[in-house]
Amino acid sequence: MTLYRLDMAHEFTDLDAGPVPLWFQIAARLRKDVQAGKFAAGDRLPSESELNAMYGVSRTTARSALDRLEQEGLITRRPGKGSIVLPPHVDQQLKTFAGFADEMRSRGLRPSYDTRSIRRLPATADVAKNLKINRREPVLTVDRVLLADGYPMATSQSWISPRVLKDQAAPKTKDLNAKSLYAWIEAVSGVRIVGGDETVEAVNANEDIAGRLRVSVGAATLVAHRLSRSKNHTPVEYVVIHYRADRYRFSIGWRR
């Protein structure tokens, strides 16, 4: 973890006394260092008191600078841990699809999973409709938090079609913490997901989602409802994913 040292303070003097607010200038310098790679995901930026010592500014000014970086999604502020640099934004193309692990690795990030529960639950009306099964039919349900470099990027709840899994035993938590859910499905059933449909909407995080994603209650999230299919168009998985809106962006190319 990279840290600013107070004996480096001489490098951070000479703020402009002109019309640009001091907090804005400090935020700009810290942002430049983050974008230049001087601080990687997981590194701690200087605290409010350290910024005070470096620049000779008030605590309010230092707090405003860090608040701006948090609003921009560059850092997360944790009690007792300070201002931690977040992984870069992920731009996901909607016209193509790759699993979470592949998406993260392609961006130089380390994917991991925190599996909260693996249960067989009666299918709700929405799940039954998407998977084309009977309502109340038992469905393997997997609840996980998806992480990149140890930071939560999304939380997902997946329902896997019993037509695909048949009598296959449920996976162990350690199995799904170690690899992609899609890789597990293909390994045990021989069924490979090749396409599907997805809708995305904006939703404010409730208390449960906020706790999982380490954001404030009411923070913006992007919620994807995805139905994945096999090569013969059989529904394989229906999943609802809450993405951190400060970490994820969806993009699509188009032509007139």
pLDDT of residue 6: 40
pLDDT of residue 129: 96
Adjacency order of strands within the sheet including 151-160 = 111-122, 138-148, 151-160, 235-244, 220-230, 193-204
pLDDT of residue 2: 42
Cα 82 to Cα 123: distance, rounded to the nearest angstrom: 43
pLDDT in tens, 128-181: 999 999 999 999 999 999 998 888 889 999 999 999 998 889 999 998 998 889
Q: Which residues of 166-194 are buried (b: 16+ CB within 10 A; e: fewer)?
A: eeeeebebebbeeebbbebbeeebebebe
Q: Partners of 156 in the beta sheet? A: 144, 241
**Maximum alpha-carbon separation in the chain:** 71
Model pTM above 0.85: no
pLDDT in tens, 71-91: 777 887 777 778 888 777 666
Closest CA to 127 of 242, 241, 235: 235
Check if the beta carbon of residue 241 is closer than 8 Å to that of residue 142: no
The label of the residue with tokens 């303070």 reads 9
Burial (CB < 10 A; 0-12, 13-18, 19+), residue 163, is middle
pLDDT of residue 250: 74
Residue 212, φ and ψ in degrees, nearest 5: -70, -40
Q: Partners of 146 in the beta sheet? A: 113, 154
Check if the beta carbon of residue 76 is closer than 8 Å to that of residue 84: yes
Instruction: Compare 18 and 147 and report the one with higher pLDDT.
Output: 147
The label of the residue with tokens 């640009």 reads 20
Q: Range with the lowest mean pLDDT among 77-81, 185-189, 218-222, 232-236?
A: 77-81
Query: How much of the chain, in percent, has pLDDT values that exceed 90?
Result: 45
Span 228-256, average pLDDT: 86
DSSP-assigned letters across all residues of 190-235: ---EEEEEEEEEEEE--HHHHHHHT--TT-EEEEEEEEEEETT--E
Cα 199 to Cα 149: distance, rounded to the nearest angstrom: 27
Which amino acid is it at 53? A
Work out the mean pLDDT of the chain and round it to a whole number. Answer: 85
The alpha carbon of residue 113 and the mean position of all alpha carbons in its chain are separated, in whole angstroms, by: 11
pLDDT of residue 225: 94
Q: What band does 127 get if pLDDT is binned at 50, 70 and 90?
A: very high
Check if the beta carbon of residue 103 is closer than 8 Å to that of residue 92: yes
pLDDT of residue 202: 93
- The DSSP symbol for 45 reads P
